[in-house]
Amino acid sequence: MTTPKQQYYENLAESLIEAFNRRGIEGYYCADKADALTTALRFLTPGCSISWGGSVSCTEIGLFEALKNSDFVLHDRAVAKTPEEQRELYAKAVMSDYYFMSSNAVTLDGELVNIDGNGNRVACLITGPKNVILIVGMNKIVPDVNSAFDRIRNMAAPPNGVRLGLNTPCSKYGKCHDCYSPDCMCCELVVTRKSRIPGRIKVILVGEELGY
Task: Give one DSSP letter per residue of 56-96, joined into a string.
Answer: HHHHHTTHHHHHHTSSSEEE-GGG--SHHHHHHHHHHHHT-
Between strands 112-116 and 105-107, the pairing is antiparallel
| Chain mean position to CA 82 | 26
d(CA 127, CA 95): 9
Strand order across the beta sheet in which 188-192 lies: 141-142, 105-107, 112-116, 188-192
d(CA 188, CA 47): 33
Asked if residues 155 and 141 have their Cβ atoms less than 8 Å apart, the reply is: no
List b or e across 114-144, with b for residues whose CB sees 16 or more CB atoms inside 10 angstroms.
bbbbeebbbbbbeebbebbbbbbbbbbbbee
Residue 195 is predicted with a pLDDT of: 98
| Cα dihedral value 89, 92, 96, 98, nearest 10 | 10
Which is nearest to 161 in space by CA: 212, 195, 202?
212
Query: What φ, ψ does residue 207 adopt, rounded to 5°?
Result: -80, 40
Q: Which domains does the chain have, with CATH numbers?
A: 4-143+193-206 (3.40.50.10420)
Residue 41 is predicted with a pLDDT of: 97
Low-confidence ranges of the chain (pLDDT < 50): none
